[in-house]
Structure 1
Amino acid sequence: MKTFARLIWRYVLTAVGVVLLLLVLTISLLGWISWREGYLQPQREYSYSEIADSMVETDNGMIFGAEHAPEEWMDGYAWAMILDEKGNVKWNYDLPDELDNHYSSSDIASFSRWYLDDYPLFCWSEDYGLFVAGLTKGSLWKYNLYNSPNVLQDIVHGIPLVILGMLLLVLIFCLWIGWRGTKRLRIVAEGLDALADGQTVQLPTDGFTGELAQKLNQTSSHLQKRNEMLVRRDDTRTQWIAGVSHDVRTPLALILGWGEQLEQDSSLPDTVRHKAAGIRTQCEKLRSLIDDLNLTSKLEYGAQPLRKETFTAGPLFRELVAQFYDSPLAENCEITLNQTNAAEHAQISVDRALLARLLENLLSNSVRHNSESVKICIETEIRENFLYLTVIDNGKGYPPEILAALNLQETTENTPHILGLHVVEQIAAAHGGKSIFESNYPSGARTCVWLPLG
């Protein structure tokens, strides 16, 4: 929903930005038109009324005022003339030949408002006659508009309302477009969330998001087929491992039983009994590997159900350590168990069989990877809402490549076998905890497993 809210605000801000952009563009356009009109219009130094007022009547006729030269007075105008009361041309300045005529009162009334033979002009009445200043053809449009005062007032008062109304309509349109787009995008966003959760997606492909929805539908279909293939592959792999493990266990049990019999047969030479003991030891390792392989396969694909029960941590760990002491591996190690008072009485909800496997793998790893007898210290304590199980030995410790494979998930062709420790990781994760493997100072291995309290 946060993404959806941000999307709506983005559209709202976009709509407001579009409105403001239109307003700025409109004002800029009006300003440019005004500037262009002022730039293209002929620039006149003096108005026609000022020129008319400056005219001086002499015995030789009309002349421009002495303040400026005629060219300066007429800067921006093409020609000028003065008509007397009868409509005759009394004086002129660069007057075109076709305009040197007699003009009746109706002619004067007409060209004073419009044009004189397509020449735009301006008129000013003086005591000496009618002063007329003209421009070149096509240099100016000259039309008179007639409106009542009420219309002009309505226009002046209505312009702000019209502008606001137009802006409001544009804003409503933008919001409507944004709402429609957001609605479509919300469907796509929900489809993406469903796709991320591994669900099948089938979105409508109409509207402007149709192409994107179609791509998501195709992606969902491909992922669904791939997931089905992976599930079938994983099921096949799990069944194959379980079948092979089952088939191997029967001959392995026979070999292990025969090895124990030969090892305990006092009538055999010591060398034969020693070899029989080696056969038994290797069979036990092989049986442990098969169990780990079966368990890691089930944990990885969720085929191993968790049968959680609530236990008191102190008695449970003492029982699990005592259980390990019954195995032949306990002959090559010395185990101490230290539990804090809080850990002794803490309640944890675990699968007892899996927790026993976790502890057995850690203890077996310390014994098998050290040629001499090893001292192992098991500690439990409570930190926040977790029980911290720490297993420390004084052996050779974890090689760097093992630590990289466990903690950094970096594996190479030369990475040693870590199936048993990988099972420890999986069991801890299945209980909602985690495990950390590190070297112990000054020597040995250190493993910390966090288990949530029940």
Structure 2
Amino acid sequence: MKRMSKIIMRYVLSAGGIIIILLITNIIVFALCLSSNNSPTTSHRISEISKGLKKEDNNFVLSNKASSIITKEFQWAMLINDTGKVVWSKNLPKDIPLSYTSSDIASFTRWYLKEYPVYTWKHKDGLFVVGGIKNSTWKSQLEIPENIVRNSIKWLSLGLLMNFIVAMLLAFLFGIRFFLSLRKIIEGVEDMAKKKQVFLGTKGAFEELAHNINITSKELLRQQALIEKRDTARNNWITGVSHDIRTPLSMIMGYSSDLEDNENFSEDDRKKLSIIRLQSEKIKQLVNDLNLTIKLEYEMQPLNIKPFYAAELARKVVVDHLNNLSNNRYNLELSISSEAQSCMINGDMRLFERALNNIIGNSMKHNKDGCNIYIELDQKEGNCVIEIKDTGSGFKDDILQTLNFSTEFPTNKSHGLGLYIVKQIITAHGGKFYFENWEQGSSIKLCIPSYKE
């Protein structure tokens, strides 16, 4: 409701502002029109024409300039002497009289003569009259009482205020009606976000929009059901397969290990048994990875959250790898800054150990000829930063795009569940990951919020 009230208020204020602007604009335009129609230009032109008419040797002569003005801007002109006689004319219509009384002159001055709009000016030899085309100009006389003129500002302000109040009231009423219909649409969108079935029966301006929301809601629920069905089937399949594989796999690993140590077999047979055992261990690791990634994806993995020192964990992981290395093709170097010595992480230490082992194992797996692996710990901007780099072949561009931006289950054979699990673990702890290449190989940077006691 608070959001609805805010929308209504903004709508009302916007409408009120538009009305005020329109009123002010109309007043300015009206004033400009009145001032422009007050004919100062017309009076100036008639005065100019009148000066162009001069008497020479008892004859009136009109200048070329004045004659041109009459032809272009008016239609005809005449000069009436003090006795009411027309003593000079130009283009005078036939229905215009040539003699006038004082009352005739008073009646057409500033108004009409035989429906011709006329304009007059005092000439030294009489009254100079200029006429336009018949029925071409509307003339009126505006009379305003003096008390109204004196109080015009007050009346104008009051009129503007009344117009503003009425306009705001109308805008508010129309706004209420508009948003009563819109409220149903908003409620429908909110229900759709909560994955509820939406059926809007709104009519009028929002009928089509309500219909589209109903269709979208139905389609989203259908797709959600399909996704849940697919995920459930995948989860059940992985759980079932891993359960069914565990027992026979343990037997294969146990028997192959026993036979591998049996000296009655030849050296070639024992190597084959060793291969069987190693491949069985890979299958077991793969099954464990599948179970872990499913649990992390659906938040089924219980996290044993406790604060621990990142430096302590890094040292343990590096020592374990160095102890288990059977050749010197790989070299591990650990660097811990002074700030990172006391950096703590609040999380599941077992899962973080798994993440670091997966990254180091990934570098070894994809660099069969050996490489140097550098593990660096630092503390920056409230984060514990763990960066693992190698001097191997690095990531391909499409692999980098997938690792950094894709959230889909991995199907790439080059970099599979190992790094995908790393992403899941870091995400579950509110951290960020960055996969990139540096000048000598690949680089994986993990940024996890530091724990403060």
Q: What TM-score do you get using the length of structure 2 for normalisation?
A: 0.66
1:434 and 2:432 matched? yes
Task: Read off the aligned partner of 1:172 and give its amino acid letter.
Answer: M
Contact 1:332/1:372 (<8 A) preserved: no
Q: Deviation digits for residues 425-450 of structure 1, max 9, x if unmatched?
A: 221221122333455665x6544333
Larger-Rg structure: 1
Task: Read off the aligned partner of 1:419 and give its amino acid letter.
Answer: L
Q: Deviation digits for residues 23-79 of structure 1, max 9, x if unmatched?
A: 3345435645775785999x856999x9xxx9xxxxxxxxx9988729899987788
Corresponding residue for residue 300 of structure 1: 297
1:23 and 2:27 matched? no
Q: Secondary structure at the match of 1:331?
A: coil
| Distance in 1 separating the partners of 2:282 and 2:442 | 21
1:69 and 2:66 matched? no
Corresponding residue for residue 234 of structure 1: 231
Task: Read off the aligned partner of 2:253 and give its amino acid letter.
Answer: L
Structure 1 210/173 Cα, relative in aligned 2: closer, same or farther at 3 Å?
farther
Corresponding residue for residue 326 of structure 2: 331
Q: Give the number of aligned pairs.
A: 430
| Distance in 1 separating the partners of 2:363 and 2:3 | 51
Quote the offset at 1:320 in angstroms.
Answer: 5.0
Corresponding residue for residue 423 of structure 1: 421
After superposition, where does 1:8-407 map in structure 2 within 5 Å? 12=13, 15-28=16-29, 31-32=32-33, 69=60, 156=152, 160-161=156-157, 164-165=160-161, 168-169=164-165, 172=168, 176=172, 180=176, 194=190, 200=196, 205=202, 211-212=208-209, 215-319=212-316, 330-332=325-327, 339=336, 343-371=340-368, 378-392=375-389, 396-401=392-397, 404-405=400-401, 407=403
Quote the offset at 1:404 in angstroms.
Answer: 2.2
| Distance in 2 separating the partners of 1:236 and 1:313 | 38
Structure 1 162/409 Cα, relative in aligned 2: closer, same or farther at 3 Å?
closer
Q: Secondary structure at the match of 2:248?
A: helix
Q: Deviation digits for residues 158-198 of structure 1, max 9, x if unmatched?
A: 66346524652476368637955995799599669848966
Q: Deviation digits for residues 95-143 of structure 1, max 9, x if unmatched?
A: 979989999x9999999999998889999xxxxxxx9989797577788
| Distance in 2 separating the partners of 1:450 and 1:90 | 107
Structure 1 92/337 Cα, relative in aligned 2: closer, same or farther at 3 Å?
closer
Task: Read off the aligned partner of 1:432 and give its amino acid letter.
Answer: G
Task: Read off the aligned partner of 1:331 and give its amino acid letter.
Answer: S
Contact 2:334/2:375 (<8 A) preserved: yes
| Distance in 1 separating the partners of 2:36 and 2:390 | 90
| Distance in 2 separating the partners of 1:205 and 1:279 | 68
Identity among equivalent pairs (%): 28
| Distance in 1 separating the partners of 2:367 and 2:77 | 116
| Distance in 2 separating the partners of 1:413 and 1:450 | 26
Corresponding residue for residue 59 of structure 1: none
| Distance in 1 separating the partners of 2:387 and 2:137 | 99
Corresponding residue for residue 124 of structure 2: none
Structure 1 stretches lacking a partner, 5+ long? 55-63, 124-130
Q: Alignment RMSD, CA only?
A: 5.8
Quote the offset at 1:270 in angstroms.
Answer: 0.7
Structure 1 330/434 Cα, relative in aligned 2: closer, same or farther at 3 Å?
farther
Quote the offset at 1:348 in angstroms.
Answer: 2.4
| Distance in 2 separating the partners of 1:287 and 1:11 | 68
Q: Secondary structure at the match of 2:156?
A: helix
Contact 1:397/1:439 (<8 A) preserved: no
| Distance in 2 separating the partners of 1:186 and 1:407 | 43
Contact 1:376/1:392 (<8 A) preserved: yes
Contact 1:392/1:445 (<8 A) preserved: yes
Contact 1:332/1:367 (<8 A) preserved: no
| Distance in 1 separating the partners of 2:98 and 2:386 | 120
| Distance in 2 separating the partners of 1:113 and 1:438 | 90
Structure 2 stretches lacking a partner, 5+ long? 121-126
Q: What TM-score do you get using the length of structure 1 for normalisation?
A: 0.66
Contact 1:19/1:170 (<8 A) preserved: no
Contact 2:404/2:435 (<8 A) preserved: no
Structure 1 181/354 Cα, relative in aligned 2: closer, same or farther at 3 Å?
farther
Structure 1 381/181 Cα, relative in aligned 2: closer, same or farther at 3 Å?
farther
| Distance in 2 separating the partners of 1:121 and 1:404 | 89
